[in-house]
Amino acid sequence: MPMKAVLYTFQRDDPVHRFRDDLPQLQWAIASSPQDVAREIGDADILVLTNRVCSPELGEALHRAAPASLGWIHFLTAGVERGLAMGLPPGAAVSNASGLKARTVAEHALTLLLAVMRRFPDLQAAQRAHAWRRVEMQPKLSSLEGATVCIIGLGGVGREVARKVKAFDARTVAVSRAGVPGGDVDVVLPRERIGEALGEADAVVVCTSSDASSRHLVGAAQLAAMKPGACLVNIARGEILDEAALVQALRDGRVGGAGLDVTEIEPLPPDSPLWDMPNVIVSPHVAGAGSKDYAQQKALFSANLERFRAGAPLLNQIAR
């Protein structure tokens, strides 16, 4: 009998549903709800899912119905925090897709950063008003050329942001748990020196992963340590940034502008002041969209399938 894999994603038209045809050595069951997972997981060896579908209901379904034979849980996302929070069967190895969308996410980060530094919200407001505000706008614009960009987190996305920023002739200072230099980063500092890194920065890009140690890693004290008028972009997780402190720093002019693809509460509540702030750009958690990563997803899963069958450690295996 072939191994059985249960696939549960947020979208029924997700390209990874091609796994059924491209990996016929597995018996595939497609789930679209926690109830489907509970019905199918009883004789499964593998669970394939995304961080987004993880919920207390799914955690309960797994707790109730997952068999001891469930040996591997693979996340098609880099993020796994929702899965860890809901509870995963303790005997299963867990892997993720860290790095697969790094280039696309970094591209979105740079888009937000450039749009904030070049004051695109103001430029678009002037366009809508049919107003040629050249004299007014020129002093407000800033450039990455010669600027110092602080990158918080040196995983796949952080390294890719550093590589792209270098093409704009910017200097890079990174804040990393490991504090190990390399790649396109000029200086790497440990988290304990985050205030020092922020004090040098004309722009900050938050790329670090979310866990208990990173909640409000960038709070009021860190925002106060930034250069007055510096810009901030967050394409990681909303809870890493103290949103209330950011709103106040934007109002005070301490932070010159922000580009946010993630927020503490998603969707961003309609009454959030961030929607209407003239120096803020909000995108709805879409930084990874547009990535042509199916071939990479398939290659990673296939390589790990061979490792799983051989009893070898998985690529991108999550310690827990």
* 234 SS3 class: strand
pLDDT tens readout for residues 102-140: 999 999 999 999 999 999 999 999 999 999 999 999 999
* pLDDT over 90 percentage in the chain: 93
Backbone phi and psi for residue 229, each to the nearest 5 degrees, phi listed first: 90, 0
74 is a catalytic site residue = no
264 is a catalytic site residue = no
Q: With 90 as the cut, is the pLDDT of residue 11 above it?
A: no
Q: Which of 63, 251, 266, 309 is catalytic?
A: 266
Q: Where are the alpha helices (DSSP H) in 193-293?
A: 194-200, 220-225, 243-252
User: For residue 241, what pLDDT band results from cuts at 50, 70 and 90?
Assistant: very high
136 is a catalytic site residue = no
Instruction: Map tokens 């106040």 to a residue.
Output: 248
- pLDDT at 185 (0 to 100): 95
Q: Which of 108, 119, 159, 285 is catalytic?
A: 285
Beta bridge partners of 6: 29, 47
Average pLDDT, the chain: 96
Q: With 80 as the cut, is the pLDDT of residue 182 above it?
A: no
Q: With 90 as the cut, is the pLDDT of residue 48 above it?
A: yes
- Dist. CA 283–CA 113, nearest whole Å: 12
With CA atoms as reference, report the closest residue to 262 among 244, 245, 279, 287. 287
- Dist. CA 311–CA 94, nearest whole Å: 13
Segment 278-294 mean pLDDT: 94
With CA atoms as reference, report the closest residue to 74 among 101, 98, 55, 56. 98
- Dist. CA 98–CA 155, nearest whole Å: 8
Q: Which of 74, 237, 239, 264 is catalytic?
A: 237
Q: With 90 as the cut, is the pLDDT of residue 234 above it?
A: yes
Segment 9-22 mean pLDDT: 93
